[in-house]
């Protein structure tokens, strides 16, 4: 056989061999490495969301409360890390199949090739989700809550409340057995955080002078946002981190299908956020006569929250629809809270609570294995559990140690009253 023909024969055989094995699974050790890497990289991105929340909240509060927001956000992240290691992880993942609660034991490493990923990488990935839930509460109650009661609540939320309800689904508990579906936590993380924030906001009450005699909210000074550019930066950081939030929830990177799925999740996540922005821009212009940039920012987050329950199965068009409705839910949910005179400084309740519920209800629209009945069942269980327990804890703190700063301290500003550091040397 001539050399050139022999070479072509070998080349063709090689191409055929590669094609036939293109979708073949990698060996167990390589899969372990890739899956672990996915958890770690995604965890890094979700941790970066803590900076996003800090910047978003800092930009939306008044200038006399920015340093306090910084203290609260780095504090809550640290508390979540400690509490999720101490008891949180095993409360969620030590739960019996179809059960309600796990074990009160610290996390310990049980890594093995058979498990498919490093135990430590899973702990880290789940911990930053836990911290996100605490971050949601922070912004709602800004500018009038005492910092140490807030830290105490975060310890209970991160160590007990969130792990229990999260375990009902992701730990194989009773909601998983009932067929409830929440891919990356529209309800388990976001709506739960919104429920905890709502309970606190009701008991805390609005900021002094936030509503006039007619019940209308004051939106300008003295309640003007300290920095819209800073809030915008926060939203872009959150948007970036969300790719880790949703993409990492695929939980595997060791196959062709997993890699393709993660790319699809990225696309749908991005489209939903874009739709949320533009829907809020359009509604604010049509209804209020101005293109409200704060609504646009929260619209992005509402779209992201909504798609989080199921970012894999929707088509691009459906992702746009789900995210766009999420933006509309944020807009009208904000107006609804104002009517009720509930002061949510950053709009976390409509963004995370209301949009999270919508996104979870939308799962059966694209995922044939999910049912509306199971989704409603899970939404009710999680939101009622978190709201009731959070309300009781906030109430007990209110009547014992107190949760609200004094009227004098509120007028002075939480930066001076609570942390003793001014964020800005020149204030509005």
The answer to whether residue 51 scores a pLDDT higher than 80 is yes
Is residue 30 within 8 Å of 37, Cβ to Cβ?
no
Q: Distance between CA atoms of 242 and 409, rounded to whole angstroms?
A: 36
Q: Distance between CA atoms of 190 and 135, rounded to whole angstroms?
A: 10
User: For residue 13, what are the CA distances in angstroms to 2, 9, 19, 20, 31?
Assistant: 17, 6, 10, 11, 27
CA dihedral 122, 124, 127, 129 (to 10 degrees): -80
Is residue 350 within 8 Å of 302, Cβ to Cβ?
yes
Q: Hey, is 368 helix, strand or coil?
A: coil
- Give just the sign of the alpha carbon dihedral 409, 209, 63, 305: positive
The answer to whether residue 205 scores a pLDDT higher than 50 is yes
Q: For residue 220, say if its preceding peptide bond is cis, omega within 30 degrees of 0.
A: no
Q: Which residue has the tokens 């995210």?
A: 323
Over residues 138-165, the mean pLDDT reads: 97
The C-alpha angle with vertex 388 and arms to 382 and 384, in degrees rounded to 5, equals 30
Q: How confident is the model at residue 10 (pLDDT cuts 50, 70, 90)?
A: very low
- Secondary structure string (H, E, C) spanning 296-353: HHHHHHHHHHHHHCCCCCCCHHHHHHHHHHHHHHHHHHHHHHHHCCCCCCCCHHHHHH
pLDDT in tens, 390-423: 999 999 999 999 999 999 999 999 999 999 998 8
Each residue of 107-122: b (16+ CB within 10 Å) or e? Answer: beeeeeeeebbbbebb
Q: How confident is the model at residue 214 (pLDDT cuts 50, 70, 90)?
A: low
The answer to whether residue 15 scores a pLDDT higher than 50 is no
Residue 292 phi/psi, 5-degree rounding, is: -80, 110
pLDDT at 115: 87
User: For residue 391, what are the CA distances in angstroms to 165, 200, 272, 337, 405?
Assistant: 16, 7, 32, 17, 19
Residue 79 is encoded by which pair of tokens? 């508390």
Distance of CA 131 to the CA centre of its chain: 9
Q: Distance between CA atoms of 259 and 225, rounded to whole angstroms?
A: 41
Each residue of 151-186: b (16+ CB within 10 Å) or e? Answer: bbbbbbbbbbbbbbbbbbbbbbbbbbebebbbbbbb
What domains can be seen in the chain, in order of their start residue? 28-419 (1.10.3430.10)
Name the residue among 65, 71, 61 with its Cα closest to residue 414.
65
pLDDT at 218: 62
Type and span of the H or E element at 208? none
Name the residue among 383, 394, 390 with its Cα closest to residue 165.
383
> Using the 8-state DSSP alphabet, how is residue 249 labeled?
G
pLDDT in tens, 345-372: 999 999 999 999 999 999 999 999 999 9
- For residue 158, the number of C-alpha atoms closer than 13 Å in the C-beta half-sphere is 29
pLDDT in tens, 230-255: 999 999 999 999 999 999 999 999 89
User: For residue 299, what are the CA distances in angstroms to 50, 248, 314, 417?
Assistant: 19, 23, 19, 33
pLDDT at 222: 65
The answer to whether residue 328 scores a pLDDT higher than 70 is yes
> 291, exposed or middle or buried, with CB in 10 Å at 0-12, 13-18, 19+?
middle
Distance of CA 140 to the CA centre of its chain: 14
Question: 0.85 cut: is pTM over it?
Answer: yes
């Amino acid at each position: 056989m001539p050399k050139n023909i022999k070479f072509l024969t070998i080349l063709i055989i090689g191409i055929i061999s590669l094609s036939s094995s293109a979708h073949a699974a990698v060996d167990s050790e390589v899969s372990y490495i890739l899956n672990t890497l996915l958890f770690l990289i995604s965890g890094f991105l979700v941790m970066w969301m803590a900076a996003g929340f800090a910047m978003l909240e800092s930009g939306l509060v008044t200038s006399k409360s920015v340093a306090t927001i910084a203290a609260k956000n780095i504090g809550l992240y640290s508390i979540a890390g400690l509490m999720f290691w101490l008891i949180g992880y095993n409360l969620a993942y030590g739960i019996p199949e179809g059960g309600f609660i796990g074990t009160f034991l610290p996390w310990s490493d049980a890594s093995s090739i058979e498990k498919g990923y490093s135990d430590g990488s899973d702990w880290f990935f789940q911990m930053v989700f836990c911290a996100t839930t605490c971050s949601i509460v922070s912004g709602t109650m800004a500018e009038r809550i005492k910092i140490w009661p807030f830290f105490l609540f975060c310890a209970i939320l991160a160590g007990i409340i969130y792990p229990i309800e999260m375990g009902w689904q992701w730990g194989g508990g009773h909601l998983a057995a009932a067929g409830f579906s929440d891919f990356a936590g529209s309800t388990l993380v976001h709506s739960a955080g919104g429920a905890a924030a709502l309970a606190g906001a009701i008991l805390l009450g609005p900021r002094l002078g936030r509503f006039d005699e007619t019940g209308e909210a004051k939106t300008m000074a003295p309640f003007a946002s300290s920095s819209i550019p800073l809030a915008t930066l926060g939203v872009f950081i959150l948007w970036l981190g969300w790719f880790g939030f949703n993409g990492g929830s695929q939980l595997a990177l060791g196959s062709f299908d997993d890699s393709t799925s993660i790319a699809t999740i990225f696309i749908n996540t991005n489209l939903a956020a874009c739709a949320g922005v533009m829907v809020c821009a359009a509604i604010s212009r049509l209804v209020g006569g101005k293109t409200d940039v704060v609504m646009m920012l929260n619209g992005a987050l509402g779209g992201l929250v909504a798609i989080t329950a199921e970012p894999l199965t929707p088509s691009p068009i459906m992702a746009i629809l789900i995210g766009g409705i999420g933006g509309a839910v944020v807009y009208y949910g904000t107006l609804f809270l104002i009517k009720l005179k509930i002061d949510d400084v950053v709009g976390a309740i409509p963004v995370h609570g209301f949009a999270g519920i919508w996104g979870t209800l939308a799962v059966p629209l694209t995922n044939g294995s999910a049912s509306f009945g199971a989704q409603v069942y899970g939404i009710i269980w999680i939101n009622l559990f978190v709201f009731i327990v959070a309300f009781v804890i906030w109430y007990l703190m209110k009547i014992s140690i107190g949760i609200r700063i004094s009227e004098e301290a509120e007028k002075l500003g939480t930066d001076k009253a609570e942390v003793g550091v001014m964020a800005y040397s020149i204030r509005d």
